Amino acid sequence: MDAEQADWPLFEVFVRARAGLDHKHVGSLHASDARMALDHARDLYTRREEGVSIWVVRSSEITASDPSEADAFFEPARDKVYRHPTFYDIPPEVKTL
């Protein structure tokens, strides 16, 4: 019906639930510009005080890793168990380590 009018750009929405927490991805929405995206994000994702801060970013600006190559992409970390503190055997009598 609106053949002349394509969808507005898609924005991804990130909400900080409380001071001290990270912004977390909550969903997406269409808006004509970033300011409208912020207003809509407030109405769509924080109707019950779910946030104290919102980021919006155009979806087309995000570069994502490829899920079909996830195994190879994350493989370098797989054999490095020595990066975890639990790898090291410490005698129980040694305290505060």
Residue 55 near residue 13, CB atoms below 8 Å: yes
Q: Indicate the residue among 6 and 81 with the shorter CB distance to another protein.
A: 6
SS3 58: strand
What residues from 30 to 89 belong to the interface with another protein (CB under 8 A)? 30, 32-33, 36, 43-44, 47-48, 59-60, 62-69
CA dist 12 and 59 (Å) reads 6
3-state SS assignment for residue 30: strand
**Minimum CB distance to another protein, residue 48 (Å):** 8
Nearer to another protein, 69 or 75 (CB): 69
| Whether 56 contacts 13, CB under 8 Å | yes
Residues that bind another protein (CB under 8 A): 1-2, 5-8, 10, 12, 25, 27-30, 32-33, 36, 43-44, 47-48, 59-60, 62-69
